[in-house]
């Protein structure tokens, strides 16, 4: 797929108690891209290889989710995926959008799926890439998830810890990630507000068990009733979220296709961008 650079606009949108920083490009049916939850993640950086290609066909809306980038750092840690879904719905309301396609990677995939369970009337079609919240209470955390959740612990955040997470766990080919990307993410990850209250953390306290249960979306009985047409894309070498989650979703949801990418890690939309973009356009147009 040949793409040209799309003209982008940036704005800050008031959504309930929070401000969300939003990048937009293109025209047409709205597609909201929801980024992952790794340290220093932002919407535009997570989808840097996808925005222009999708903007040739759709109105692409890319927020920094609560807790990340230039958005407000406020997040309800008792029900994080539910709160993120609420923020996405609020963003659609603020932009006067009744219904949108959702594309979510990892943490953003869990947010997209939770929104499809809470308000399927607001979701047109959906793409999930290595989504979080799939079978998380059914096994021990993966090494990649352990690295991610431990970033702010111990001796605190460092560039070395972030580089280890990205090169050893996020992608299949460590050499494919430029140093500049790691530098940008590290600087974003050490914002004082973020260090004081990391957006992605292990549940703790008396409500921890309830939070863990809420964050495993395979425990939600609505999953088997979800009729939103869904494409699940998973890297066969994902070290953060287990690829076994793909067949689980495909066998549980009513309208779910699964595409497993060989020699690909957790960042499928970045590692296999051209193929992912083609799959996304085809699915979101309903041309499968």
How far is the C-alpha of 260 from the C-alpha of 234, rounded, in Å? 5
Angstrom distances, CA of residue 192 to CA of 35, 67, 78, 241: 21, 12, 22, 28
What residue has token string 């290595």? 130
* 283 counts as catalytic: no
How far is the C-alpha of 288 from the C-alpha of 279, rounded, in Å? 9
Choice among 35, 77, 266, 283 that is catalytic: 266
Helix (H, G, I), strand (E, B) or coil at 243: coil
The HSE-up count of residue 148 (CA atoms within 13 Å, CB side) is 25
How far is the C-alpha of 277 from the C-alpha of 279, rounded, in Å? 5
What angle separates helix 208-215 from helix 80-94, to the nearest 10 degrees? 60
How far is the C-alpha of 72 from the C-alpha of 18, rounded, in Å? 5
Q: Which residues are catalytic?
A: 266
């Amino acid at each position: 797929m040949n793409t040209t650079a799309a003209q982008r606009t940036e704005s800050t949108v008031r959504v309930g108690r929070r401000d969300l920083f939003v990048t937009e490009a293109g025209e047409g049916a709205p597609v909201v891209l929801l980024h992952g939850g790794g340290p220093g993640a932002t919407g535009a950086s997570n989808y840097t290889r996808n925005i222009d290609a999708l903007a040739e066909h759709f109105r692409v809306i890319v927020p920094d989710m609560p807790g990340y980038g230039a958005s407000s750092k406020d997040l309800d840690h008792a029900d994080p995926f539910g709160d993120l879904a609420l923020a996405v719905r609020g963003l659609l309301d603020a932009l006067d959008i009744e219904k949108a396609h959702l594309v979510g990677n990892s943490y953003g995939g869990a947010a997209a799926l939770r929104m499809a369970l809470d308000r399927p009337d607001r979701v047109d079609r959906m793409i999930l890439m290595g989504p979080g919240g799939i079978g998380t209470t059914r096994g021990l955390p993966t090494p990649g998830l352990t690295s991610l959740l431990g970033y702010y612990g111990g001796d605190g955040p460092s560039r070395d810890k972030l580089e280890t997470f990205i090169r050893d766990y996020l992608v299949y080919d460590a050499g494919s990630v430029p140093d500049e990307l790691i530098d940008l993410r590290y600087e974003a990850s050490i914002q004082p507000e973020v260090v004081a209250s990391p957006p992605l953390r292990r549940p703790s306290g008396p409500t921890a068990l309830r939070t863990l249960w809420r964050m495993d979306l395979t425990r939600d009985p609505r999953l088997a009733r979800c009729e939103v047409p869904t494409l699940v894309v998973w890297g066969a070498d994902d070290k953060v979220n287990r690829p076994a989650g793909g067949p689980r979703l495909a066998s549980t949801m009513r309208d779910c296709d699964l595409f497993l990418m060989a020699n690909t890690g957790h960042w499928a939309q970045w590692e296999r961008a051209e193929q992912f973009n083609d799959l996304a356009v085809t699915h979101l147009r309903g041309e499968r």
